[in-house]
Chain A
Amino acid sequence: MFESLSHLVLQQYWWIIVSLLGSLLVFLMFVQGGQTLLGSIARDQTERSMLVNALGRKWEFTFTTLVTFGGAFFASFPLFYSSSFGGAYWVWTLILFAFIIQAVSYEFRTKAGNFLGQKTYEAFLFVNGLLGTILIGTAVGTFFTGSSFSLNNMNQVSWEGPARGLEAALNVQNLALGLAVFFLARVLATLYFINTIDDANIFARSKKQLLINSVPFLVFFLFFLIRLMFLNGFAYNPDTKLVVLEKFKYLHNFLEMPLVLVMLLIGVVGVLYGIGSSLLKSRYTSGIWFAGAGTVLTVLSLFLIAGFNHTAFYPSSFDLQSSLTIENASSSKFTLTAMSYVSLMVPFVLAYIWYAWWLMNKKKITREEMTTEEHLY
C-alpha cells in the first residue's frame, strides 16, 4: 500500500504525523499550565490536592506524547534529531531536565519519607510548567527564525556560538511564541479544571484565571502570528534545492495552501469560542474541547506552513544551504514506508486513549473524593 507512494509523498505524510503529534503535545501541555496555577487557584490543602490529582491523571499523556514526538521525529527526520538536539544542546537539556523533575513529583509529592518535602515537589511542577512550555515554544519558534549551524558534507552538525541554542530565547519572535504557549497552557488548564472538577470555588477562581491569562496569550500569539506574516521565510527551489530568503514566505504559504489557512482560522475561532463561552456562560464546562481542538488545528497549521510548500522547516541562518527541509532531512524511502505501516496503529491508540479518558472522567473530581480515594497524589 505505502510502497507505491513516492518518497516525497511519504515525507509529506510523515511531516503531517510529526506535526499532529506536536499539535497534540501543545494541547496536552494544559498539564504544565495547570502546574503553574496551583498557588493562584487553590486556597487550601484539599483544593490543592484536587488540582494536582486532576492534572496527575493526565500528566503521563503529555509526557508520552513528548517522547513519541521525539521518537517519531528521529525515525522520520533523523537529520533534524541529530542537528537540533546535538546542536542546541542547552535548550534541549534544560527541557529534558524540566521533564525529569516532573515525572517523580506527582507520585512523590505527598508520600511519607519523600526526602525533599511537598513544597519542593510542587516547585518542581512549577518549574516544569514554566520552562517546559516557554522553552518548547521558543525551540519551535526557530522553525521560522532559523538557528546558527552548518552541516559538513557528511551531514554532521557544527553549532555556531557558545550558547548552544539558548540564544534562541533572545529572539523576540521565538520568545513571543514561547510566552504564547505558556499562557495558552494556562488558559487550557483553567478550562480543564472547569470541566473536570466539581467545586464552586475552583470553578469561580479558574474562570478568573482564564480571563487573566487569555489576555497575554492573545497579545503574544497575535504578535507572533502577525509578525510572522511579514517575516522573510526560508524557501527552497524544488529542482535545484537551493535555499533562499523569500519575503512574506509564511503569508504566501497560507495563501498558496488555502486548506491550511482554513485550518488556522477554524482553529483560532475554536480557541476563542472555548474561551469566550466559558467566560460568558455561567455554567458552561465544555470550553476545553473547543479550545483544545482549536489549539490542535492552529498549531498543526503552523507546523504545515513551516515544512510544506517548499519551505525549510529547520533553517540555518548561518548557512542557508545547511537548512533542513522535509526532503533532505528525512529517512530513506524504505524506512518511511515501514514506519507508515506502523502509523496505521495511531487511530487505534487514539481510540483506546479516548475510551479510557472517557471512562475515568465520567465522574468529576470532588472535595469528598480527596478523602475517600485510596490512591492520591
Chain B
Amino acid sequence: MLASIDLTPLVDWSRAQFALTAMYHWLFVPLTLGITWIIAMMETIYVKTGDPEWKKLTKFWMKLFGINFAIGVATGIIMEFEFGTNWSNYSWFVGDIFGAPLAIEGIMAFFMESTFIAVMFFGWNKVSKKFHLASSWLVAIGANLSALWILVANAWMQNPVGTSFNPETARNEMTNFWDVLFSPVAVNKFLHTITSGMVLASIFVIGVSAWFLLRKKESRMAMRSITVASVFGLLASVSLALTGDGSAKQIAEVQPMKLSAMEGLYNGKTEAGLVAFGILNGKEKREAGDAFALKIEMPKLLSWMAYGDPKHFVAGVNDFTKGNASQGIMSIPEKVKNGKIARQTLTDFKNAKAAGNLVRADSLKAMFSDKAFIDGNFKYFGYSFEDDVNYYVPNVPLTFYSFHIMVILGFGFMVFFALFLFFSARGELPQRTFWLKLAPWIIPLAYVASEAGWIVAELGRQPWTIQDLLPTVAAVTKLDTGSVMVTFFLFAVTFTVLAIAEVNIMLKAIKNGTKNEGGTK
C-alpha cells in the first residue's frame, strides 16, 4: 500500500493540522456543552418564579454563549471534512463504520441545536415562555447529543468493535451497530467529556461572577450565578472523577501502551504504584528502567485503579516493545511479523482475483473470516506498515505530564467548587476577596486541563488512527507536503485571529454586564 517515498513530513504536517484544528475546536466546545445546561436551569428558575432578575441573568449568560458558539461552529466544520481531505485512506478503510455517527450527529443533533438556538436568541417576544424554555433545554440536549455521536466515533477509533474486515472492498464493515454505540469506551468517553464541559462552564461562570463581585457590580446576579454554578460544578466534578476512573480502567484494557505512557511506566510490575507527581528522566534512562528523576508514588494504587486488584501486574512500555512471555505479552517485532502475514494475504487475494484464479482467491478470502487468522494475524494488521519498534511508542513525556496536569487540576476544581458553595451557603461571598480574586485565574486552568485531556486521549494513542489496525502513515491522504503546510498556516492564522476577536468580544460583553439585557416579564 505504501510507496517507498518517505511519508514522515507529510504525516507530521497532516497530524499537526489535525491537532491544530481539533485543539482550537476544543477550546470552544466545552463551554458550549456546559453552559447550555446552566442557562436552561436559570431560565427554568425564571419561569417558575417569574422573577425578571433571573431572566436578565439567563440572557446575560446566553449572550456569552452565543459569542462562544459562533466560533465553535467555525472551527467545527473543518473537523467534519478533514477526515476526507487529509485522511482519505482512513476514510475508506473505516468509512463504513465511522461515517454513520457523523451523519447521525448532523440529523439528530446539529439540526436540533441550530433550530432552537434561533428560538432561544430571537424568540423571547415571539413564542410562549414555556416554548422558549423548552428550546433552551433542547439546545443543551442537542449540543450534548452532538458530543455523543462524535465521541462514539472517536471511541470506536480507540477500540474498534462491532466490525469485520471485507477483503473484497479492502475495508472494515459494521456488523453490530449497538456494539459501536454502547461500547464501554464510548459510554465512558461521552460521560467524561460532557462532565468536563460542565466543570469548565461552571468555573467560567464562577470566575466571571467573582470579577463582578469584586467590583461591586451586578452583585445579586453574580451571587445567584455562583450558587447555581458551584452546585452544578461540584456534582459535575465528582462525576468527572468517577468517569475518569472508568476511562483509566478502559484504557488499561484496550490501550495498555497508552496507560504505560500516562504513568511513565517502563518496566511492568505487580503492585504497581500510582505516580502522583513526577519528573521524568531522559529517553535512554527511561528505557533502561530508570524513568523518574523525582517522584511521589502511592503504593499499589495503579494496580488497584486499573484492574481493581492491588496485586495485579501492570505492563510497561518495555513489556510491549520487547514482549513479556510470562505475562503473555507479544513483542512488537512479533506483531509486525503477524501483521505482515495478514497484509500479504490481502495482497495475494487481490492478485489472485485480478489473475482470474478464483479458487485461490476464494480460499484466501475465507481466511479473513477464520477466527484463528483474525486473532493471530489480522488483529495486528496495522503493525505491517512499519518495522521500527520506536514507532509504536507514543510521546511519553507529553502524555505523562498532560495526564498529571489534568488529574491534579481536576481534583483542585472539586475543592474550588466546594469552597464557593460553602461561602455561598453562608452568605459570605462578598467578604471572601482572596478567593474572588483567585477565581478568574482558574478559568484558564480549566482550559489547560481540558486540552491536556485531549492530548492524553489523542497523542497517547499514537501512532494509531484505528487502534492496532491503521497507523497514521497508512491513513494519510497522499498530498504534497507543501499543500498541507499552506493549509496548516491558513487555518493557524485564521483561527488565531478569530480567537483573538472572540476573547476580545467576550471581555467587552462581560464588562457591559446585564445592563443591555431587558429583564421585563
Contacts and interface: CB of A to CB of B under 8 A. Distances in A.
Given A85-B91, A114-B501, A334 B477 contact: no
A201 interface: no
Interface in B122-136: 122-124, 126-127, 131, 135
A101 B494 contact: yes
Interface in B469-507: 477-480, 483, 487, 490, 494, 497-498, 500-502, 504-505, 507
B311 interface: no
Chain B interface SS verdict (over half): helix
Contacts of A63: 73, 77, 114
A61 to B, nearest CB: 6
Contacts of B103: 68, 71-72, 74-76, 339, 342
B115 A87 contact: no
Contacts of A58: 118
Contacts of B490: 93, 97
Nearest to B90: A82
A366 to B, nearest CB: 13
A90 B77 CA distance: 16
A373 B121 CA distance: 10
A216 interface: no
B350 A85 contact: no
Interface in B50-99: 59, 63, 66-67, 69-71, 73-75, 77-78, 80-81, 83-92, 95-99
Given A101-B494, A113-B505, A335-B173, A60 B117 contact: yes
Nearest to A372: B125
A82 B173 contact: no
Contacts of B498: 104
Of listed A89, A99, A101, A114, residue having the most chain B CB within 10 A: A89
Contact of B494 (A64, A90, A100, A373): A100
B92 A67 contact: no
A84 B116 CA distance: 33
Interface stretch (B164-172, B241-249, B435-443, B457-465): B164-172
Interface stretch (B104-112, B232-240, B289-297): B104-112
A152 to B, nearest CB: 8
B1 interface: yes
Report the contact-size class of chain A (Cβ under 8 Å from the partner). 35 or more
A68 B81 CA distance: 11
Contact of A90 (B78, B483, B500): B483
Contact of A155 (B73, B107, B170, B487): B170
Of listed A92, A162, A332, A342, residue having the most chain B CB within 10 A: A332
Contacts of A111: 67, 505, 508-509
B516 interface: yes
Interface residues of B, number: 88
B166 A332 contact: yes
A276 interface: no
A78 B113 CA distance: 26
A58 B122 CA distance: 11
A301 interface: no
A68 B107 contact: yes
A154 interface: yes
A153 interface: yes
Contacts of A57: 118, 122
B57 to A, nearest CB: 14
B91 A86 contact: yes
A100 B75 contact: yes
B517 interface: yes
A92 B505 CA distance: 30
A90 B173 CA distance: 29
Nearest to A107: B70
B100 interface: yes
A363 interface: yes
Contacts of B354: 153
B391 interface: no
Nearest to B495: A100
Given A113-B507, A338-B177, A374-B518, A360 B118 contact: yes
B174 A335 contact: yes
B122 A86 contact: no
Contact of A112 (B118, B477, B505): B505
B367 interface: no
Given A63-B114, A104-B71, A360 B126 contact: yes
A89 B483 contact: yes
A41 B127 CA distance: 30
A8 interface: no
Given A334-B175, A353-B115, A81 B95 contact: yes
A89 B100 contact: no
B514 to A, nearest CB: 11
Contacts of A332: 96, 166, 169, 173-174
A72 to B, nearest CB: 5
Contacts of B508: 111-113
Nearest to B127: A359
A78 B96 contact: yes
A113 B506 CA distance: 8
B126 A339 contact: no
A375 B88 contact: no
Contacts of A70: 80-81, 102, 106
Contact of A82 (B89, B117, B512): B89
B157 interface: no
A158 B494 contact: no
Contacts of B107: 68, 71-72, 342-343, 345-346, 349
A84 B84 contact: yes
Contacts of A90: 483
Given A339-B100, A359-B123, A103 B88 contact: no
A103 B171 CA distance: 35
B102 A75 contact: yes
A79 interface: yes
Nearest to B171: A155
A101 B115 CA distance: 21
B440 to A, nearest CB: 18
Contact of B115 (A83, A154, A356): A356
Given A85-B88, A89-B85, 7 more contacts: A71-B99, A78-B96, A82-B91, A96-B81, A108-B67, A356-B118, A360-B127
Interface of B: 1, 59, 63, 66-67, 69-71, 73-75, 77-78, 80-81, 83-92, 95-100, 102-108, 110-119, 121-124, 126-127, 131, 135, 166, 169-171, 173-175, 177, 350, 354, 477-480, 483, 487, 490, 494, 497-498, 500-502, 504-505, 507-509, 512, 516-518
Interface of A: 57-58, 60-61, 63-64, 66-68, 70-72, 74-76, 78-79, 81-87, 89-90, 92-93, 96-97, 99-104, 106-108, 111-116, 153-158, 162, 164, 331-332, 334-335, 338-339, 342-343, 345-346, 349, 352-353, 356, 359-360, 362-363, 373-375
9 closest pairs, A vs B, by CB?
Answer: A86-B88, A78-B95, A85-B84, A68-B106, A75-B99, A103-B74, A74-B99, A107-B70, A60-B114
15 contacts: A66-B77, A67-B77, A67-B80, A68-B107, A71-B103, A86-B88, A96-B78, A96-B85, A101-B494, A154-B350, A338-B174, A356-B119, A360-B127, A374-B124, A375-B122
